[in-house]
């Protein structure tokens, strides 16, 4: 098939040849002025050599690369990439009998920019970030069905959460929200009304780490959503868990998840603003001891560069308050999922919070996403989730 062409300026082809999947508008020397958002285009060098096939964008990010090689059959390319991503999750030990919820496609990390697919025990939840991937929905449906076979019960298009003017709904089959397993633990997932695609799959490994640290500790799970860290803490041997979130419906599911994974430990689901909750505990009474393990897993404080400065200030305040809640000898697990706040900036901000607290803090480990959220080595911008394990002394 012949596609419209985009020609790059001299010397602008090098980044594409290094397999970076983004091409910005300033790199373009020539293009058809009638190109529309999401249209597939061929990218060529100033000498006419083929560089890539990708989605065109009318903003500063002009092309997202779908293939660095010429494409004779688009449907075949997509089927191959979806099948490879499916097989990788099995080869990498992610998809097992004990874990029935995982990310099938992680956008650029799987060579499919703008496409997220999460697997919930037979239900594929699709998010298209942009007109380009959404325009290929028929290809996605074909490829998903071919790769998963009879294990697939339904495909739910959740792109309406991302793109204005679209409605979310089932595009193949039907299913009801229900329980999935993660490392043998049960979690209720509602992909129709929940945050993200229904569950924060990117924290799977970090929840397991939390469980290993939780033994014998009193745990605070701040921004706890549906209680993922809380369930792991209970299973790991915590003596008490508090889950704090501003969403009452999320906390109701958190309580349901705790009940689905029987434990005798005390659990409190507390509906509150986390900043206010932490601030209210500034004067700890004798019957309200500090926590031995605090988890801070806030939503993204910045989704663009304009919000970065305010986000860094918010992370500093949050971590200062969180550190104040940790008992001597306790632990803090702290995270940021803001892509525009990179690891260096995040760690510097947490260090500033530690200095503010006046306490001795040691770094025990750095955390990130699990294997089903791969990041292209040639696209570091795909990194967003970062975390720290900190030991806190008096």
Of 149, 138, 137, 64, the residue nearest 107 (C-alpha): 64
Of 126, 131, 34, 27, whose CA–CA distance to 85 is shortest?
A: 126
DSSP 8-state assignment for residue 310: H
Q: Quick one: tokens of 139?
A: 């290809």
Q: How many CA atoms lie within 13 A of 285 on its CB side?
A: 3
Q: Give yes or no: 337 in active site.
A: yes
Q: In what order do the strands lie in the sheet with 291-296?
A: 267-271, 240-245, 218-222, 291-296, 326-336, 386-392, 361-367
Decide if 101 contacts 118 (C-beta within 8 A). Answer: yes
Q: Which of 62, 337, 340, 388 is flagged as catalytic? A: 337
Among 83, 126, 131, 87, which residue's Cα sits nearest to residue 107?
Answer: 126
Tokens of 189: 């997932």
Cα–Cα distance, 163 to 327 (Å, whole number): 44
The three state secondary structure string of 123-184 is: EEEEEECCHHHHCCHHHHHHHHHHHHHHHCCEEEECHHHCCCCCCCEEEEECCCCEEEEECC
Those residues whose C-beta lies under 8 Å from the C-beta of residue 382, and which sit 6 or more positions away, are 106, 107, 108, 109, 375, 376
Per the listing, tokens 């500063």 go with 60
- Torsion angle of the four alpha carbons 255, 261, 263, 269, in this order, in degrees rounded to the nearest 10: -10
- Positions annotated as catalytic residues are 337
């Amino acid at each position: 098939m012949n596609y419209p062409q985009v020609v790059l300026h001299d010397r602008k082809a090098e980044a594409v040849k290094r397999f970076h999947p983004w091409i910005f508008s300033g790199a373009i020397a020539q293009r058809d002025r009638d190109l529309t958002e999401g249209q597939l285009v061929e990218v060529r060098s100033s000498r006419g050599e083929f560089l890539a096939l990708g989605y065109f964008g009318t903003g500063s990010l002009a092309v997202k690369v779908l293939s660095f090689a010429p494409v004779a059959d688009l449907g075949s390319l997509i089927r191959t990439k979806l099948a490879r991503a499916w097989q990788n999750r099995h080869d990498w030990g992610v998809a097992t009998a004990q874990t029935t919820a995982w990310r099938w496609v992680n956008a650029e990390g799987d060579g499919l920019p703008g496409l997220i697919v999460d697997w919930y025990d037979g239900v594929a939840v699709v998010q298209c970030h942009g007109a380009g991937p959404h325009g290929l929905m028929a290809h996605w449906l074909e490829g998903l069905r071919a790769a998963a076979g009879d294990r697939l019960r339904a495909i739910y298009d959740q792109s309406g959460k991302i793109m204005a003017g679209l409605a979310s709904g089932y595009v193949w089959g039907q299913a009801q929200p229900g329980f999935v397993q993660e490392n043998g633990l049960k979690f209720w997932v509602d992909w129709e009304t929940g945050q993200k695609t229904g569950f924060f799959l990117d924290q799977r490994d970090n929840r397991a780490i939390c469980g290993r640290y939780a033994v014998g500790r009193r745990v605070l799970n701040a921004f706890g959503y549906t209680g993922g860290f809380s369930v792991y803490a209970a299973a790991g041997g915590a003596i008490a868990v508090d889950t704090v979130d501003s969403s009452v419906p999320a906390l109701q599911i958190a309580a349901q998840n705790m009940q689905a994974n029987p434990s005798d430990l005390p659990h409190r689901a507390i509906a509150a603003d986390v900043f206010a909750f932490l601030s209210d505990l500034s004067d700890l009474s004798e019957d309200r001891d500090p926590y031995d393990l605090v988890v801070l897993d806030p939503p993204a404080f910045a989704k663009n560069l304009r919000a970065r400065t305010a986000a860094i200030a918010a992370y500093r305040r949050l971590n200062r308050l969180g550190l104040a809640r940790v008992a001597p000898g306790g632990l803090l697990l702290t995270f940021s999922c803001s892509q525009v706040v990179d690891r260096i900036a995040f760690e510097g901000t947490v260090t500033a919070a530690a200095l503010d607290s006046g306490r001795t803090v040691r770094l025990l480990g750095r955390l990130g996403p699990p294997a089903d959220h791969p990041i292209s080595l040639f696209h570091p911008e795909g990194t967003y989730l970062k975390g720290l394990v900190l030991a806190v002394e008096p």
